[in-house]
Amino acid sequence: MSDPVRLDITDGLAIITLARPEKLNALDDVMVSLLGSYADRIDSDRSVRAVILTGEGKAFCAGGDIVAWGGLSPLEMGQGWVRTGHRVFDKLARMKPPVIAALNGHALGGGLELAVTADIRICEEQAKIGLPESGLGMIPGWSGTQRLVRRLGGRVARRLALTGEIVTAETALSLGIVDQVVEKGGALAAAKAMAERVAARGPVANIVVKQLINAAEDEDRASVMETLASSLVSYTQDVKEGVAAFQDKRPPRYRGE
């Protein structure tokens, strides 16, 4: 039996595919775990220049599988399901290469929260988008009230979360939820074309630009600042002198260079 999430890395392009079409790619524990593992693999692979996140079948992702969370106790819900989802979605949002979400169909609830971990979203014209959780007496739990606000704005998050409105692809485009709308069946091809354009740019520049934008959105700002600052300082002669002095067991002779 094949995995419900697949990863393919070819010629610098990583494609993550949700592959549970019979359940509209609704996320269960296994799928969330696989997404986290794939994010780690991509981040450790320096050959990857761009990432595409997409789904198989009629939907991108219908959200969290109610069978997986519906019977959980309050403690299991908060400390298990929600915290695990946050940890994995944070990994996806903070992967070094730029990520393009190819929304081949509906992105609802956790599916929209997953799509918003991407840097760019391309949506097929028939797709519907929304945060319907309150209709079940639940709230968006995988950063629908946090990352969505930072990346899409509070006005959009309020409209979707408080009303449960399901919007069309064109409305999503007008609200800034998605960046491009394409015809049915065209999201993956459009995402690949976008990925080629991204991959043609300087890879280090793209990584740094993404980190800076993430920091501006308060996405792991402290880590981004220390990462970039450490990279800068590591190029200095002072670091080379400090390491050499340690190895030679002598006092360092720093020159401030």
Is residue 40 in some structural domain? yes
Mark whether 188 and 209 lie in a shared domain. Answer: no
Is residue 119 in some structural domain? yes
Is residue 254 in some structural domain? no
Angle at 175 between CA 172 and CA 179, to 5 degrees: 65
Specify the length of the chain in residues. 257
Mark whether 101 and 227 lie in a shared domain. Answer: no
Is residue 49 in some structural domain? yes
Give me the pLDDT at residue 38, please: 98
Neighbours of 172 (CB within 10 A): 26
Token look-up 């991959």 returns 199
Give me the pLDDT at residue 77, please: 66
Across the chain, which has 257 residues, the per-10-residue mean pLDDT values are 92 97 94 96 96 97 80 72 88 97 97 97 98 88 92 96 96 98 98 97 95 91 85 88 90 89
Mark whether 57 and 103 lie in a shared domain. Answer: yes
Give me the pLDDT at residue 142, please: 87
Mark whether 102 and 79 lie in a shared domain. Answer: yes
Give me the pLDDT at residue 203, please: 94
Q: Which domain holds residue 182?
A: 5-199
Burial 38-75 (b: 16+ CB within 10 A, else e): bbeebbeeeebbbbbbbbbeebbbbbbbeebbeeeeee
Partners of 99 in beta bridges: 51
- The amino acid sitting at 32 is V
φ, ψ of residue 104 in degrees (nearest 5): -80, -5
Give me the pLDDT at residue 1, please: 64
Mark whether 208 and 224 lie in a shared domain. Answer: yes
Give me the pLDDT at residue 235, please: 86
Give me the pLDDT at residue 23, please: 95
Mark whether 52 and 166 lie in a shared domain. Answer: yes
- C-alpha span between 5 and 27 (Å, rounded): 10
Among 113, 110, 97, smallest CA distance to 148 is for 113
Neighbours of 30 (CB within 10 A): 13
Is residue 256 in some structural domain? no
Mark whether 184 and 207 lie in a shared domain. Answer: no
Q: Residues with Cβ < 8 Å from 212, sequence gap 6 or more?
A: 224, 228
Among 115, 96, 120, 101, smallest CA distance to 47 is for 96
- C-alpha span between 31 and 110 (Å, rounded): 12
Mark whether 187 and 209 lie in a shared domain. Answer: no
CATH for 127:
3.90.226.10
Q: Give the chain's domain count.
A: 2
- Kindly report the pTM of this predicted structure: 0.91
Mark whether 43 and 111 lie in a shared domain. Answer: yes
Which of the residues are catalytic? 113, 133
Mark whether 27 and 148 lie in a shared domain. Answer: yes
Is residue 178 in some structural domain? yes
Domain boundary among 199, 216, 236: 199
- C-alpha span between 244 and 255 (Å, rounded): 14
Give me the pLDDT at residue 184, please: 97
Mark whether 177 and 235 lie in a shared domain. Answer: no
Mark whether 26 and 153 lie in a shared domain. Answer: yes
Is residue 61 in some structural domain? yes
Domain boundary among 180, 199, 218: 199
Is residue 253 in some structural domain? no
